[in-house]
A and B are shown apart, each in its own frame.
Chain A
Amino acid sequence: MKCMNRILVQSADFCLAHEYQLLRTDNPQDGAIVTFTGLVRDMAQDLPINGLYLEHYPAMTAKVLGNIVEQARTKWSIGGATLIHRIGHLTPAEQIVFVGVTSQHREAAYLANMFIMDYLKTQAPFWKKELSERGDKWVEPKVSDQIKSDHWE
């Protein structure tokens, strides 16, 4: 399993236990797995929302997500890397994104996992629309996400 990437963009949900097992499979040299799961919240700017609609640019998403994982590999020695992002309509509390990274020792997996999420937020061509009783609203990019992404450079 060493140095294997699993990158998926899908409307279907994912199973954390299944992804975790895949990262463990045939991977006895790695002693650490760090996973991150992002969920849809029921609030946006302190107001309730009914859910999200996620749009993306398929040809570019595949390319960018692959590049982000490869950049993480140049910075840290990591084994398996899984990145799953959902698209389409999602309701509050649903899973939206998963990042799982393995490494021999924990530090590389922690850092690479955070790097992949921070870069995904500012580089990958996904767009979120918040759905609510007040009308649908495209999400504005956050300055704080850009700062987090920039700090790795």
Chain B
Amino acid sequence: MAALIHRPEYAGYDFGPEHPFSPARLEMLLDLFRSLGHEVAPIAAPAATREDILSVHDEAYVAMVEALDQGKPNLEADRFGLGTPDNPIFPGMDLATRWLVGGILHGARMLMTGKERRVLQLGGGLHHAQKDQAAGFCLYNDLAVAIQAFVAHGWRVAYLDIDLHHGDGVQNLFYENDRVLTLSIHESGHYLYPGTGHIQDLGSGSARGLSVNIPLEPFTEAGDYLEAFESVVPRALSWFSPDVLVVQAGADAHFADPLGDLALTTQAFQTLYQRIFALADAHAHGRVLLTLGGGYEAQVVARVWTILYLTFMGLPLPEHLPAVWMDHWRHLLGPGTGRELHDPASAMPDLPGREARTRRNRDVVNRLLDSVRTYWI
């Protein structure tokens, strides 16, 4: 009842050796699943078509991606967010992204036909891509294309974004759509990219109350994070009662991530994943479609997304990572990486300012709940 989607072409979504969004993470991950003794035969989905992409993106933007893909220089590129350090132009980027979009779209179709109830797309999660612009490592918004397909099928869709960064692209694309609830829990945009995702952004028109943001203080730890999640997400899903839950499962909220300032541990991610599947069972007919997302420290994403995969499959977690696998990937993992699957219990010391952060995080959640109360009835 659980399907994994991946194909070797996903490795083509590659902004170059200096870029953090490295496709080597996926290969390393699949190799780890296999090294742990699991038979992994992912489904290879067809690429999304141009029409699929146009279900959420402007034609002018798609045409620009295609032109730059063919090596045609264009001074207008930066107006579309292309050719920046975050989104360098690379040959084949149109098709490389359509492979990723095709994967999640295939997963969405398996859910709509009732063939599967849980689907994990091993890649993608391009939540920053806007209607007319690339942003934050994201070219085409794979999540939005899948959500749009569900909406066209007549389903009500809940979107949950646990990436470190605000899921601004998905939120913006459905900001006025009352068939889609978007929930994003992230490090506050006061400092971090993309600078959005405030509690006051609640959706508009008939979709007021259907954009929900939980921005957390930099250096927020697992306790606060999970408390905020529990205060908001179950309530929202229970009220909205979606037909399916779509999840962007970025792993960059981990304390060792080089781009962020949240302080989740592997243990916190395990709890989070268990809760997500339980909530999908309780409120979304058990239907859940997940992608990966951000996560820029190899040894972290290997461990965190392995926990995701094994929880997703209902398989037991090992205590240790296979030595053979570690030796093979040492160049990415770094010399100091230990063999334990989980972070050591002593990973986080007593951090200064913890009480003040907890108070501020609770204030934010209370303010959010106060402002959505009138809509969630």
A, B bound: no
Q: Name B residues whose Cβ lies closer than 8 Å to a Cβ of A.
A: none
Q: Name A residues whose Cβ lies closer than 8 Å to a Cβ of B.
A: none
